[in-house]
Amino acid sequence: MKLGESAVRTKSLTDEIKGGAMAAKGIITVSVPLVCLICLVFCTVVSKTQSDIGFTITFRGFELFQLFFNGGAYRRYDSWGNVITVRYPMFLCIGAMAVFVILAAVAAVFALRYTVWRGRSGASALSAGICLTAGGLMLAAYIFLLFCTVPVYDYYGNAVPFYNVFEISPVFLLVGLALLVDGAIELRLGERSARKIKRFLPIYAFMAVPLAFIVVFNLYPVLLQTVLSFKNFTLSDGVWGSEWVGLYQFRLIFTDSRMLGVIGRTVYISFLRLIVGIIPPLFLSICLYDLKSNTLRSVFQNIVYIPHFFSWVVVYAMTYSLLSPEGLINSMFGTSVDFMVSTKYFMPIVIITSVWKELGWGTILYLAALSGVDTSLFEAAKIDGAKPLQRVFHITLPSIRNTIVFLTVMNLGNILKGAGGEQLLLFYSAPTQNQALVIDTWLVWYGMKELEYSLGAAMSFFQSAIGMVMVLGCNYISKKTCEVSMW
């Protein structure tokens, strides 16, 4: 009898925990679309700007709702007391009303899911699907309005593209992302996960502070840079107040021969650094691994590893002391060649100093991988009569293939940022400036000094996008061909 009572109490407690977790999940999923609806109603969602006369009108969601009944017309007074009639496109007003209806419908579906439809099969999938679809439509509408070329009228009555006059608030983007997260919670967060979250809720509360720092200092700057790349930035108007120009900066990058030359030179130097960053460390690590004396191995390893801790300023000073007209090389041969300003020697100097500085770091990574290789394989190969090169190609390299693939994929993802901008900024001179003109140095010399902030942001956005595509693509190809991948 006691056992039966204990089982009943345990089942009752389990049902109570289960019910509480699912109730919390229901509150979250219902609250998200309602909060999004409130934000769209009371936050600024669109503004009309005429930057040349300092004319800006902002509208919140409920004001767009009112404009629908006025045919999109809005009257206001300018600085001189004149009446200005501003006409908003009707599709914008209709779209605002549709968004309100969609958010209210999503909240209603989730409310029904956890009340009337509770326990019905397929209710969770249906509600999640509606929420994800709504979030996707919001994001699609936001992107469409950013680049919309539908003709509208400016202050002077001229027909201009929509994005030249109207600016869409990022609140649309945030609402779309919130709906996608809400749909994912409904679809993927099961009863067991909900109970765990409720159990470890204090720990998640402690995580809120560092997550807030990540959002403010990592994610928000990325958002600012992304927005800046689609604007014609001016210091007086700031990031959000500057004129929206759409893809103009990107068109300039891919149509200007000078910019294409900068990109090509970046890829060329990055590819050279990629090759010398893989092969020499791999060769040296194999040689050190085959050394019989552990003492000699440690000495050589420490010697080649020390330059990794030198800054490029120190490396430049050492290089200058060797290659300047009064340097060691010219003193030994009785010449006065200035290698540092020679276009003939500039690129070899950059590549050789890069290899010298980072050789030890790559060697340590490969030696760490080689330390996990089974030594009995080498002993068996020696007994079978395998020569040193045969052991390298048939045992050593296949054993550390994962490490080689990992480093290669990471370096390929850095193909547009791996030209060594810091090194080139130190090593260049007036005669060799064109050879040192890569994306990173261009951002300093022209993007910052000539106040081309928007073009520089577009170039950085292009760098990041290509890097992400390269990492994902190389990882996919490696997984399909070599069955080795980063994840």
Q: Is residue 233 in some structural domain? A: no
Number of domains in the chain: 2
Which ranges of 290-309 does DSSP label H, i.e. alpha helix?
Answer: 294-305
pLDDT of residue 42: 85
∠ CA 244-59-134 to the nearest 5 degrees? Answer: 80
352 and 448, same structural domain?
A: yes
Q: Report DSSP letters for 26-58, one per residue.
A: HHHHHHHHHHHHHHHHHSEEEEEEEGGGTEEEE
Question: 26-40, 229-243, 255-269, 432-446: which range is least confident on average?
Answer: 229-243
pLDDT of residue 316: 93
Q: How confident is the model at residue 81 (pLDDT cuts 50, 70, 90)?
A: low
Question: Taking residues 358-372, what's their average pLDDT?
Answer: 85
265 and 171, same structural domain?
A: no
Q: Number of C-alpha atoms within 13 angstroms, CB side, residue 56?
A: 14
User: pLDDT tens digit string along 95-117?
Assistant: 888 888 888 998 898 888 888 87
Mean pLDDT of the chain: 81
Q: How confident is the model at residue 8 (pLDDT cuts 50, 70, 90)?
A: very low
Instruction: Decide if pLDDT at 39 tops 80.
Output: yes
294 and 193, same structural domain?
A: no
Q: How confident is the model at residue 6 (pLDDT cuts 50, 70, 90)?
A: very low
Final residue before a domain boundary, out of 184, 199, 214: 199
Whole-number Å distance between alpha carbons of 334 and 359: 31
pLDDT of residue 398: 85
Whole-number Å distance between alpha carbons of 44 and 60: 4
Q: Is residue 280 in some structural domain? A: yes
Instruction: Decide if pLDDT at 315 tops 90.
Output: yes
195 and 304, same structural domain?
A: no
CATH number at residue 287: 1.10.3720.10
271 and 168, same structural domain?
A: no
Which residues span the domain enclosing 432?
252-481
Whole-number Å distance between alpha carbons of 98 and 64: 12
Q: Is residue 326 in some structural domain? A: yes
Question: Taking residues 227-251, what's their average pLDDT?
Answer: 80
Instruction: Decide if pLDDT at 10 tops 50.
Output: no
pLDDT of residue 83: 58
If residue 402 lies in a helix (H) or strand (E), which one and from where to where? helix 401-413
Whole-number Å distance between alpha carbons of 315 and 327: 14
Whole-number Å distance between alpha carbons of 168 and 141: 10
301 and 161, same structural domain?
A: no
pLDDT of residue 478: 74
Top pLDDT among 2 and 337 is at 337
Question: Taking residues 66-78, what's their average pLDDT?
Answer: 63
314 and 174, same structural domain?
A: no
Question: 33-47, 49-63, 363-377: which range is least confident on average?
Answer: 49-63
Whole-number Å distance between alpha carbons of 202 and 190: 20
Q: Is residue 144 in some structural domain? A: yes
257 and 195, same structural domain?
A: no
pLDDT of residue 312: 92
Q: Is residue 71 in some structural domain? A: yes
271 and 133, same structural domain?
A: no
81 and 145, same structural domain?
A: yes
Q: How confident is the model at residue 17 (pLDDT cuts 50, 70, 90)?
A: very low
Q: Is residue 208 in some structural domain? A: no
Locate 229 and state its tokens.
């790349």
Q: Number of C-alpha atoms within 13 angstroms, CB side, residue 283?
A: 8
Whole-number Å distance between alpha carbons of 335 and 159: 69
pLDDT of residue 2: 45
Final residue before a domain boundary, out of 161, 183, 199: 199
| Cβ-based neighbour number of residue 268 at 10 Å | 13
Question: Taking residues 159-164, what's their average pLDDT?
Answer: 78
Question: Taking residues 62-78, what's their average pLDDT?
Answer: 66
380 and 304, same structural domain?
A: yes
User: pLDDT tens digit string along 191-227?
Assistant: 677 677 777 778 878 888 888 888 888 888 888 888 8
Instruction: Decide if pLDDT at 399 tops 60.
Output: yes
Q: How confident is the model at residue 5 (pLDDT cuts 50, 70, 90)?
A: very low
193 and 297, same structural domain?
A: no
Q: Report DSSP letters for 195-253, one per residue.
A: HHHHHTHHHHHHHHHHHHHHIIIIIHHHHHHHHHTTEE--TTTHHHHSEE-TTHHHHHH
User: pLDDT tens digit string along 471-481?
Assistant: 888 778 777 76
CB 28 within 8 A of CB 201: no
Tokens 């080795």 appear where?
Answer: 484
Q: How confident is the model at residue 155 (pLDDT cuts 50, 70, 90)?
A: low
Instruction: Decide if pLDDT at 269 tops 70.
Output: yes
Top pLDDT among 246 and 320 is at 320
User: pLDDT tens digit string along 135-147?
Assistant: 999 888 888 887 7
Q: Is residue 413 in some structural domain? A: yes
pLDDT of residue 297: 84
Percent of the chain with pLDDT over 70: 86
For the chain, count helices (H), then strands (E).
23, 9
Locate 237 and state its tokens.
């108007």
Q: Is residue 136 in some structural domain? A: yes
User: pLDDT tens digit string along 334-354?
Assistant: 888 888 888 899 999 999 999
